[in-house]
Structure 1
């Protein structure tokens, strides 16, 4: 493993020197990791990336960003045509770097390219409102989703959706299900929303009653052998006018919904 740090972090008085592309920089080995030290850490990260990709003839497939490394999204998108497989947003370990300001959060959303999976663990302020489009992905997991409104939710273009620590209410879920019944979010196959504001007893309204039928079936959703897996025990069957079927289940302050087809339902 290769790592780039600022030269000010170098403690060794007799470091080794290594060649990274056209650069010769001090380095130490710690716990199996080659740590290189640079006057400009951003330049070091770029040099290490270019060197590794060239050495092994590979592309960058995964990017993990913090508040102070948003430049990576645009830089990686410009350096290669191959799309990213994973993008992760994290909060740093140091307390003073831990909180993302709202502009940084929105900037990351604007710059994030289409990717197979997007994991967002970082959290904006309590009053944050998203005005940008959420990138098209195959899987999105928003671990701290208190900012996600039902309109944000209905705009997500993803196969699998997980929203944790949500503020969404049962009324929001009803609006979301009605949106799905009308043909919205056509690529979605599975969604999970965790919220303490959900009440299953409020779900069956007159508007949904013609489409929703309680069932006692046991069905398992699994996208692929290593993907999301959830077992539906009972719940509600729901069917759109085009014949597409899904199952809805409420469990432990969470809402689950899976669309069944030949690939995922059994």
Structure 2
């Protein structure tokens, strides 16, 4: 059965959802997106995602066509209409469609807002039990990675290279250090039991799941250090793992074909995943 999407004020079958070929999201990647997980029919950590949405659109002077309360209503209506129990809600806002193609911001054009859902059993993912392989690729992105832009070609190329190598993610490397994954935040656990993840800045996206996992770890008196780390340090670590809204916490068992520790999911990543799933279920709305 065709799922239901939302396009500029209307709920329509996904197969009939359309925007103009002059939409600036299509022509210039002039837009922002967010992805919120759905667990047991409820949105996970959604306030954090919508706060990041507001920040990102603010950074590119893009007005939201609906207020946040209305966006939440639309998200929940989509979940209900699609009878979605476990999966994702994708949201994108662009600067809209003008009468032609011009680089400068158009005047008097209403931004485009679209949303749709997808089914995904994040909690019971086999990759969480077995762990994933990652490969490394050069980080060739622009320098404002803290903005969740729809300009994702560099990530697409990295993740395609990972898929061709039989890996689950690509870690992007800049100046000899890991920035982040193509669609995830990167973590390691050092031999001294310190959880390390890169500090927020323009070099990486401020991950919502990353933020929650760091907070949950600190609440349990686990040692967390926010700094850059190298692939060599990751290969010498006790564990490595990634976080994102679409996978929660997943262990990394190899990097560029070399095993991390014993090549199996470690107890820290496994425990943090359990803690995050508990948090997600307890706080979902």
* Shared fold, TM over 0.5: no
Structure number having the greater helix percentage:
2
Larger Rg: 1
Interval containing the TM-score (normalised by the shorter chain): under 0.3
Name the TM-score, length of structure 1 as normaliser.
0.28
| Structure number with higher strand proportion | 1
